[in-house]
Amino acid sequence: MSKIILVSNRLPVRLNEDGTPQRTTGGLASALAAVESEKPQHWVGWSGNSLENTPDPEALRESMAKLDIVPVFLSEDEIDGFYEGYANATLWPLLHYMAQRARFENDWAEHYRRANEKFADAILEIVEEGDTVWIHDYHLFLLPAILRDRMPNLKIGFFLHTPFPSSEIFRVLPERQEILQGLLGADLIGFHTYNYLRHFRSSLLQILGLESDMDHLYLDGRRPSFGVYPIGHNHKGFHEAMAHPGYLETHAEMSGSLKDRKLILSVERLDYTKGVPQKLAAIRHFLENYPQHRGNVVFAIIAVPSRESVDEYAELTEDVQREVGAINGEFATMDLAPINFLHRGFPPHELAAFYSLADSCLVTPLVDGMNLVAKEYVDCKRKKFNARPGALILSEFAGAAPEMPHALRVNPYSVSEVAAAIDQALTMPEDEMWERTRAMQDHIVKNDAGAWANRFVADLEEHSCDLNEDSGVSDLSVLFDSFKSQGQKALFLDYDGTLRGFENKAEDAVPDSELVPLLKRLSKHVRIAIVSGRPKEFLEKHFAGHGFALVAEHGYRWSRPDSPEWALVNPLVDVSWKEDVIPHLEQATQVTPGTHIETKPSALVWHYRLADPEFGLWQAHRLLSELTETTASLPVAVHHGKKIVEVASQQVSKGSAVEFLINDWNCRTALAVGDDQTDETMFAIEADIQNYHTIHIGGSDTRANHLSDIHHFRSFLEELADHLEA
């Protein structure tokens, strides 16, 4: 039976004192346990210790295998470079918009690459055809592409637990292209929020120049998809914790020591993204400006130690402890210190008791992928578990904010706003607290961690890996037979984007060394015309003398096979409209850096390939609407192609040239192939012949009958040559 392989840096295991591994049921593990699939789940992840500190790696591997776990062993150097370095000191701050904290070291990137390779090796030990692999988080950005390369048909999902920042931040990363390409190896890429998805797509455009639809793109014959999957909390786990006998004990103890005082809770890993110093500043501001609450309220700050070996985190801990001491020194009375700083973790039933008793929970990260504490707090407000009513104060910069509209929303950088929210929470009527809580509970329970995992896995399983229409690539072998039929046959081939990929400078996009020999093989059996928007000089330079017909400038002029003479396809073309159009293109060029005008005999083209992609596109739309008005009564066609706006004489088109050649050559079978809007004129002709096939290279918005991409189309031409020679 096929299986699901889960991959994360950390494994859901802990080592007993005797070194034997034992499964744990923390966050991700419990979410995945709820996946309603019969497929067995296996887990691949870092063993948690350095190789140097693992006395018997083979024995550990064997005992983990019994738990369906494959450990990845990393040396101390690898842990420093990959985990502490690239993942936590480069990517983590950058993904959280803290570019000034991010550190960049070449060695780290190299360790990161190698560690991702090691994860791939470990997966390959157990993976079989038909399995599904679900990779988690920023430690493993390169893994999807590495796996794709080694097993092209594997179903691969990726989920990012952190934010995906604006492309303005992401582009700071020296390895930005490699990281995006790594991710694009996945079939499905999931984010917590719509904004993260939006930023990711904008990075694809700005950094890789890849245009995408809202939830997918076509790439090398594949269709990587994207989606929004806000993670939920472990609902079942917290309800079990509240049913634990220790829960009521802790609850009673804490209620006793609180007496009539109100409790304001915060729970987080001590990480600079969580905004603990800012929270302390807000608490100080609150104590100074709302003196009526002093003595009646106590703040419990549960700060779980995190990454303590890193200097920056050790400094953060010191700063926080110093400030807690200062505030307590200033505001404590004989029987009460306002802040209880609890620098440790608690068992789940004790944490649940904290949630259930707290009159407010102060969740104020500066940036947070999701933040589960907010959801857990709201879920633990249950009367049947003796919970007190409470109000959630939530940073607008947490991924959870859009899902929790009934929280008191704050900007964590504004001390006065947070202090006012604390006052509002403390004075809120109980009925309102329960109303706000109930209004959020239903949603977060229905979308808990298990529901999240189920939805992602279901979408991933549904994602089609087949090379069919769905993935943007048709099976072109159906065309072979008609090329074996009787009568004259012809191929009408666009050049840029069809036989050759794009380059930033058009002159760099020259044919590769295999193209002309391949076309020559084909031309022994079928007629070939290169039908391009390029000037005649370019086509002559690269394709003359091989027996192909050349159609230049989108069908304006052509030369017969082996003839150096060029003739106009339609000798009666009128181009006097150019003087009306040129001023508009000049204006667009002046205000859009990186654009230029190309003048062709029968067309004018405004190019914006080198402009900022989003700004260029916006200006192109403005130009198009201007031109639609200006050219209403002129004999031209205006079209928006790939990074161009073209105004061309209506009397000239690739389609008319193809019609002309089909008649001139007396074709019975023809195939026209192209990627651009100008090629649609070839697809639209009604050729009165036995077989007229059309292939569009790229997305699916076309009149052509078949879809392909450059890579698959080239393979098709090679196979066609083999067939014709057979």
To the query of whether residue 431 is one of the catalytic residues in this protein, the response is: no
Nearest to 102, CA basis, from 114, 117, 80, 85: 85
CA max distance for the chain: 104
Which residue in 148, 161, 436, 534 binds ligand GDG (CB under 6 A)?
161
> Which of residues 9, 167, 371, 678 is near ligand GDG by CB under 6 A?
371
611 sits near ligand GDG (criterion: CB under 6 A): no
Q: State which amino acid sits at residue 60.
A: L
Q: By CB under 6 A, tell whether 415 contacts ligand GDG.
A: no
Q: Does 368 participate in binding ligand GDG (rule CB under 6 A)?
A: yes
Q: How far is the CB of 400 from ligand GDG (least distance, A)?
A: 7
User: Which positions from 267 to 286 touch ligand GDG by CB under 6 A, shown as an x/- string?
Assistant: x-x-----------------
Q: How far is the CB of 37 from ligand GDG (least distance, A)?
A: 21
Within 323-352, the residues that bind ligand GDG by CB under 6 A are 345-346, 348, 351
Q: Residue 387 interacts with ligand GDG (CB under 6 A)? A: no
- Residue 367 binding ligand GDG, by CB under 6 A: no
Q: From the CB of 367, what's the least distance to ligand GDG, in Å?
A: 9
Distance (Å) of CA 626 to CA 361, 580, 589: 55, 12, 14
Residue 165: name the closest of 107, 114, 206 by CA: 206
Nearest distance from residue 646's CB to ligand GDG, in Å?
47
**Dihedrals φ, ψ of 571, to 5°?**
-70, -10
Nearer to ligand GDG, 308 or 481 (CB): 308
Q: Any bridge partners for residue 191, and if so which?
A: 228
Looking at 178-186, 321-329, 364-372, 568-576, which segment touches ligand GDG (CB under 6 A)? Answer: 364-372
Nearer to ligand GDG, 370 or 638 (CB): 370
**Binding status of residue 403 toward ligand GDG by CB under 6 A:** no
CB of 618 to ligand GDG, least distance (A): 33
Rounded to whole angstroms, the Cα distance separating 173 from 212 reads: 22
Which amino acid belongs to residue 703? Answer: R
Helix/strand/coil for 94: helix
Residue 452 parent element (H or E): helix 449-462
Torsion 511-514-520-524 (CA) sign: negative
Q: Which two tokens stand for residue 293?
A: 């609450």
**Cα angle value 278/284/289 (rounded, 5°):** 125
Distance separating alpha carbons of residues 548 and 490, to the nearest angstrom: 10
Between 180 and 373, name the residue whose CB sits nearer to ligand GDG.
Answer: 373
Tell the smallest beta-carbon distance from residue 211 to ligand GDG (Å). Answer: 29
Q: Coil, strand or helix: which one is 707?
A: strand
Beta-bridge mates of residue 490: 527, 670
Of 85 and 237, the one with the shorter C-beta distance to ligand GDG is: 237
Q: What distance in Å separates the CA atoms of residue 187 and residue 221, rounded to the nearest whole number?
A: 12
Q: How far is the CB of 327 from ligand GDG (least distance, A)?
A: 22
Distance separating alpha carbons of residues 458 and 464, to the nearest angstrom? 12
Q: x/- binding map, residues 27-56, to ligand GDG, per CB under 6 A?
A: x-----------------------------
CA distance 539 to 531: 9
Site string for ligand GDG, 455-494 (x = CB under 6 A): ----------------------------------------
Tell which positions 291-330 bind ligand GDG, by CB under 6 A.
Answer: 302, 304
- Asked if 402 is part of the footprint of ligand GDG (rule: CB under 6 A), the reply reads no
Please, are residues 577 and 652 in contact by the beta-carbon 8 Å criterion?
no
Catalytic residue among 131, 379, 494, 679: 494
Count Cβ neighbours within 10 Å for each residue of 7-37 and write b for 16 or more, e otherwise.
bbbbbbbeeeeeeebebeeebbbbbbbbbee
Contacts with ligand GDG, residue ranges (CB under 6 A)? 27, 161-162, 231, 267, 269, 302, 304, 345-346, 348, 351, 368-373, 376, 399
Enumerate the active-site residues. Answer: 494
